Amino acid sequence: MSEAVFWYVGGSRRLTKIAYDAYRQFGVPIYAEPEAYARGEMGAFAEYTTSLQVVNLGLLSHTDQETLDAMPWTGLQGITRAFAKIITEVNTLDIKDLQRESTDQTLRQ
């Protein structure tokens, strides 16, 4: 990945920090703040469950040119390592520590 990607966290502040720190540690170029809602197919489900999303909406998105060959290997490596770190960290926590706090509910527009 060479351009910033949109990211979403449907969960606690702790989960957001875990995701943010992992993306930064492994060089995933993200925007400073997560999106307020999940994009695409995940959007319909995100308000019902704890979730994470990273989306690249660049020029090749949803075209027949969006292939593994078009993605730099360093980008694939970085996001894979980031998700592995996120999974490792969340597996040490109780589900209640990951779920969205009631004050963080985002209304979809």
The rounded distance, in Å, linking the Cα atoms of 32 and 30 is 6
Spell out the domain ranges in the chain: 6-104
Measured CA distances, 4 to 7, 18, 90, 98, 107 (Å): 9, 18, 24, 25, 25
Q: What pTM was computed for the model?
A: 0.80
**How would you write the pLDDT of the chain (109 residues) with one tens digit per residue?**
568 888 999 999 999 999 999 999 999 999 999 999 898 888 888 888 899 998 876 655 555 666 667 666 667 899 999 999 999 999 999 999 999 876 444 444 3
